[in-house]
Amino acid sequence: MDYLMDTYSCPVCQKTVDFKTIKEKGFQLKKCPMCGLVFTYPQPVNDVIAKNYKEDYFLHLAEKESVQIEENRK
């Protein structure tokens, strides 16, 4: 695993700081030293994301959201 330092603005805390960049499995992961957010940069396109997850990976989230909507209607 390789890593390097780059200066970026965090998408959550908006601090411009040096991020440790970890390159692994063809992706670059960055971690904000201020708030701890870890994110992929650049963000992968939908085709790349789809190749890395099974078709039903997010199904449980859709089911939870559906239940929450029904509960809010009561």
Average per-residue pLDDT for the chain: 77
pLDDT value at 70 more than 60: no
SS (H, E, C) 28-44: EEEECCCCCCEEECCCC
35 vs 18: CA distance, rounded Å:
13
List, in order, residues 6 or more apart from 20 with CB less than 8 Å away: 3, 4, 5, 30, 31, 33
pLDDT tens across 5-61, in order?
Answer: 778 788 899 988 888 888 887 888 888 889 999 988 888 888 888 787 777 777 776
Q: Which residue has the tokens 């030293």?
A: 33
pLDDT confidence of 72, banded at 50, 70, 90? low
